[in-house]
Each structure stands twice: as C-alpha cells, then as structure tokens.
Amino acid sequence: DTGVSQDPRHKITKRGQNVTFRCDPISEHNRLYWYRQTLGQGPEFLTYFQNEAQLEKSRLLSDRFSAERPKGSFSTLEIQRTEQGDSAMYLCASSKTGGNQPQHFGDGTRLSIL
C-alpha cells in the first residue's frame, strides 16, 4: 500500500527563484490538499482539488502560488519569485470522497529560501 509521495523532500533556493513541488496521492483518492507548515504551528490549508478541479483556495495562496492537478492524478505546486517568508514545510494530503474520510499526508517538501 503506497502512501502519499512528495518530491523533492528538501529544496534550497535563492530568493526570487521559482520552485515546483510534486505530490503523488494514493491512487484511488479523488481529493487532494496542499498545506503549509511553519515552525511551532499546525499545518495551514492552501488549496484543494476534487479530481482535476481546483475547488477551494485559501487567502494564504497569493498570486505567486499556483497549483495544478492535470488528469486528476498527481499535483504540482509552483511558487514564483520566492520570498524569505515562503520558507516552510509544504505538505500534500489525499483522501477518498464522501463523508468524513481521513486525510493521508505525505512527508512534505521542506523549502529553504536563502
């Protein structure tokens, strides 16, 4: 049983560069979520996909952030013109549709902005 996979695990980049993260959800899961976690805080919701449709975005998702889920399978999260404040752990989660299905999280991508 493969879980949620995220790539890369770590990313170090200079301020102003663009970065892209990938998430492969559990295969039969229709729902996919992106969260961001900073030190000492719980994960904060960024955006949500139901299959390939992006149905919800948080106010945290500025116009420098974009997420896609082509064909309703894997998802990518891109950050353009990175800033110091973007340094965080970016978590992906997936779940089945219907009721209160628990979300299964990947191990995250840690982004460090120099």
Partner 1 sequence: DQQVKQNSPSLSVQEGRISILNCDYTNSMFDYFLWYKKYPAEGPTFLISISSIKDKNEDGRFTVFLNKSAKHLSLHIVPSQPGDSAVYFCAVPGSARQLTFGSGTQLTVLP
Q: Minimum CB separation from partner 1 for residue 73, in Å?
A: 19
**C-beta neighbour count of 9 within 10 angstroms:** 10
Q: Minimum CB separation from partner 1 for residue 92, in Å?
A: 8
Q: Minimum CB separation from partner 1 for residue 80, in Å?
A: 23
Enumerate binding residues for partner 1 (CB under 8 A). 4, 31, 33, 35, 40-45, 48, 55-56, 58, 91, 93, 95, 100-108
Which DSSP helix (H) or strand (E) runs through 76?
Answer: strand 75-79
Q: How far are the Cα atoms of 15, 27, 60, 77 from residue 30, in angstroms, in the given order? A: 34, 8, 23, 17
Q: Which lies closer to partner 1 via its Cβ, residue 84 or residue 100?
A: 100
